[in-house]
Amino acid sequence: MSPFHSLFSKPAAPFVCASDLVDLTCIDSSDDDFGTQFLVKKPKLECDVDDDDVGTTFSNDCAVSELAPTSAYSELSATPNTLMVLTEGRAAASEIAYSFFDLSTTHCTLSQFADGPSYSHTIYAVIACRPQIVLVPRPMAEGKSKAMVAIRRYLPWLVIASLERRLFNDMEGMQLLQAVATPAQAARLAFILECKRYAYAAFNALFHHLEHTASLTFARGGVNVSYHQMEGTMQIDPGAWQDLGLDGENGSDTSLFSVINHTHTKMGSRLLRSSILQPSTDLNTIYARQSAVLEILDNEETFFFLSANLAAIPDIDTAITSLIRMPVASTAKQAGQAISNVLHFKHILQSARAIAAGITFEPQSCLLQETIGGLTDSRTSDLLAHIHSVIREDLAFEKSAQMTRSQRCHAVKGGVNGFLDVSRAIFDRVTQEVVELIEQYSNETQVPIKATYKPSIGYLMSAKREVLGESIPEEFVNVVVKKAVVTFSTIELIKLNNRLASVVTEINLLTEKAIHDVADVIRQNIAVLYRVSEAIALLDMLVSFAHHCTVSESVVPAFSDSINIVDGRHPILEALGGEVVPNSVSTARATFTVVSGPNMGGKSTYLRQIIYLVIMAQIGCLVPAKSATLKVFDKLFVRMSNGSDSIGGSTFLREMHGVAYILHNYSAHSLVMIDELGRSTAAAEGMAICRAVCEELLNSSATVFLTTHYLGLPPALGVHPNCARVVLSATQSEETVAQQRYKAISGAQAEPLYGIHLAERMGLPEDIIRTARAVAAEVGYTKNNSDTKPGGLK
Ligand SMILES: Nc1ncnc2c1ncn2[C@@H]1O[C@H](COP(=O)(O)OP(=O)(O)OP(=O)(O)O)[C@@H](O)[C@H]1O
């Protein structure tokens, strides 16, 4: 669990000053680890802004302040080591800008956009980034900013702190960005951000905070900065994130991400996850990915080569982070890390070129051509040649601590530094003495003794307990018995370890001096490494899409202005094994579909299947169906009846909150999925609200699917020419329930009462079932007439 979990589980996070709240410092977690973490202190509560105060900016003051602590959306876990600076424009139009920074990958994203009165873009941006903490200008935090009210209302668990207004300086931000971004990015961003002064202001505040408050320093010209175009991606509403569990953030193996994730690298998996959370709305991007996947599938040899070899590529982004945040080496540990960085990049560049060489066909797809271009960029070979001018070419990549130490010691070619050569000879001799000493103990005790290595101690000896017996020789010290193995040392061995430690310190410092220039050249060419990283990420994701077609029969989706899926299959049910009943979907004649059917009939599954196929299609993946035509949606809204219940508050309030969010934000190009609306209040009221919401949505061009148990609702809505009806399992009789389940039938159908039948099968006592049937008959429900009751209620 994240050490900061407690901060995020607070029901409503207070506003606090960033300087009070955070010491964003870095702790190197281990010698060879690139991991760093933001240290976050517990917020001080004295800077709290009064909740009521915030609530009063809404016209329906009372309702809002009551609702504020119980949002419609429960807490989403934050991405570790991330920070977002958010600001808003002062003009009448709500202009929002943010700057988001991920310390693990040193990737900074900027965006600026105009938002509507409900601030859906802003909420979506915060949710998509899931920052550990959000920093805003103090007046925004303390005043009556409508954006803040919306954020606190929908995301009450978010940790928000304030920064001095003066830090949000766009001119300084512009200069800073030109200095810290890679030169190519700086040039591109100067063009994109020409009129986006708030994005510059957010960037300035972010970097000022990182470098001055958190005392992090970044190599100039080395930070990966990109601009996020809000318009290019589908907005997935907060309800969908939690109800669908799209990205498997809790390691769930029933998320869309885990089912279609066949990536081999960290970069590929990150790209896939972010693609699922932000599917593209750009048809060119989607088509480009589709043709690249098809080409990979057509070239089996390359497909198998890539599947087998991509895994060898380490996490390039964290390696870059370590390099550009590398302090001037002053300690042996830092010097050791610096050597490892250079060795890492040698390995990365070599592997990237090997991957490109393994693509044996001439790709027609522009995306594949670009990807290969990224891997074979002539600057990668120049960089490699530079590294090999100092580092031994034959050095392979090692992972074990012992081998890493030895590799660092032998990294630099002989003859580069005389002192280094002497120290290395000492290192080899003392290591040989360790081997001989352990052999000697083995001979003396007549027990097979093995050498083990621990980075913090050095060499130790170990033997099987049963072979060593109870009488451990007196000269063995630091004896530890763990299950069947005994580990120990001797004074002689400890002395050798000490000698090794001091000679390694010397070697690391000398080696670091020898490779210092090489590290500088790598840093100056960091843009090449970003390009390699992006190319590997994309290639890995495309190979993963191709892989998915080999485990699930899929088709290339086409796009038009309506959905037409023939025999689509639910990808997660399919991955779980067992039989999946394929179902077709069409919105060609009506954009509003009301889905009904018995309990356990497969209604929610039908909705989920559509959502998953839409997302898969918009990320460029093939979809599990016989044929599929989809529409590009700009927003996805989901309210599932079995969604997350982890937040407090009334079920009805949450439901209404979620539906209000949809009604305020949907557009003609949105996909709206609502499962059993109105279920959590009195039937008459629930039905009335549900129908009113449907009438509103029916008058729009949004694509809507709504499931319901209100038997009178489908016929009532059916009078609209824009409304289609689908019934799950409608044609089956009670006796054939098992055989015909889950089949979606289009058109008006009589719906027998399976609820009572199902209750009977679940073991409710006979007399209860008898009474239930009698009550149903009394209120007018019989097996075959339920459709005839307008409104479905007495
Ligand atoms: N197309 C399908 N193929 C195979 N199994 C399915 C299919 N649809 C549904 N199921 C199975 O039936 C179960 C119940 O489906 P689902 O929850 O979608 O029913 P429902 O109609 O929404 O039920 P309720 O109205 O009681 O909420 C699912 O968990 C799944 O295991």
- Domains delineated in the chain: 3-231 (3.30.420.110), 262-391+521-551 (1.10.1420.10), 418-514 (1.10.1420.10), 558-778 (3.40.50.300)
Cα separation, 748 vs 476, in Å, equals 85
**CA torsion angle for 122, 123, 124, 127 (degrees, to 10)?**
120
What are the φ and ψ backbone dihedral angles of 33, each rounded to 5 degrees? -100, 140
Contact present, 204 and 169 (Cβ < 8 Å)? yes
Cα separation, 434 vs 456, in Å, equals 17
Residue ID of nearest Cα to ligand 1 atom 8: 602
What are the φ and ψ backbone dihedral angles of 485, each rounded to 5 degrees? -120, 140
- ipTM over 0.85 threshold: yes
Kindly state the DSSP code that residue 736 receives in the 8-state scheme: G
Q: Which of 508, 223, 215, 454 is nearest to 338 (CA)?
A: 508
- Ligand 1 midpoint to CA 742 (Å): 7
Kindly state the DSSP code that residue 626 receives in the 8-state scheme: S
- Ligand 1 midpoint to CA 602 (Å): 3
Q: Which of 176, 228, 264, 171 is nearest to 537 (CA)?
A: 264
Kindly state the DSSP code that residue 555 receives in the 8-state scheme: B
Q: Hey, which residues does 458 pair with through a beta bridge?
A: 454
- Ligand 1 midpoint to CA 605 (Å): 5
Global pTM? 0.76
Helix (H) or strand (E) holding 385, with range, is helix 378-388
For the chain, what is the total number of helices (H) and then of strands (E)? 32, 24
Cα separation, 106 vs 216, in Å, equals 11
What pLDDT score does 76 carry?
59
Locate the ligand 1 atom nearest the alpha carbon of residue 601 and give its number: 21
Cα separation, 614 vs 630, in Å, equals 7
Which tokens go with 231? 């318009």
The 3 state secondary structure assigned to 106-121 is CEEEEEEEEECCCCHH
- Ligand 1 midpoint to CA 740 (Å): 12
Residue ID of nearest Cα to ligand 1 atom 1: 581
Ligand 1 neighbours by CB, cut-off 6 Å: 570, 573, 580-581, 583, 597, 599-605, 641, 728, 742
- Ligand 1 midpoint to CA 390 (Å): 63
Q: Which of 103, 121, 98, 324 is nearest to 203 (CA)?
A: 98
Query: Is 439 in a helix, a strand, or coil?
Result: helix
Locate the ligand 1 atom nearest the alpha carbon of residue 597 and give its number: 21
Contact present, 155 and 126 (Cβ < 8 Å)? yes
Best of 583, 595, 604, 679 to mutate for ligand 1, by most ligand atoms within 8 A of CB?
A: 604
Those residues of the chain that have pLDDT short of 70 are: 1-78, 91-93, 238, 242, 247-252, 325-330, 642-649, 730-740, 748-754, 780-794
What are the φ and ψ backbone dihedral angles of 451, each rounded to 5 degrees? -90, 135
Which tokens go with 278? 């932000």
- Ligand 1 midpoint to CA 741 (Å): 9
Helix (H) or strand (E) holding 319, with range, is helix 316-324
Cα separation, 681 vs 122, in Å, equals 31
The 3 state secondary structure assigned to 187-250 is HHHHHHCCCCHHHHHHHHHHHHHHHHHCCCCCCCCCEEEEECCHHHECEECHHHHHHHCCCCCC
Residue ID of nearest Cα to ligand 1 atom 23: 600
What pLDDT score does 400 carry?
83
Locate the ligand 1 atom nearest the alpha carbon of residue 642 and give its number: 27
Helix axis angle, 120-129 to 146-154, nearest 10°: 50
Best of 639, 742, 754, 758 to mutate for ligand 1, by most ligand atoms within 8 A of CB?
A: 742
What are the φ and ψ backbone dihedral angles of 453, each rounded to 5 degrees? -130, 130
Cα separation, 31 vs 17, in Å, equals 33
Cα separation, 144 vs 141, in Å, equals 8
The 3 state secondary structure assigned to 240-294 is HHHHHCCCCCCCCCCCHHHHHCCCCCHHHHHHHHHHHHCCECCHHHHHHHHHHHH
What pLDDT score does 575 carry?
92
- Ligand 1 midpoint to CA 697 (Å): 25
Q: Which of 142, 208, 195, 138 is nearest to 169 (CA)?
A: 208
**CA torsion angle for 533, 534, 536, 542 (degrees, to 10)?**
160
Locate the ligand 1 atom nearest the alpha carbon of residue 709 and give its number: 25
Contact present, 399 and 502 (Cβ < 8 Å)? no
Cα separation, 279 vs 235, in Å, equals 8
Q: Which of 642, 635, 746 is nearest to 701 (CA)?
A: 635
- Ligand 1 midpoint to CA 186 (Å): 51
Best of 244, 570, 585, 605 to mutate for ligand 1, by most ligand atoms within 8 A of CB?
A: 605
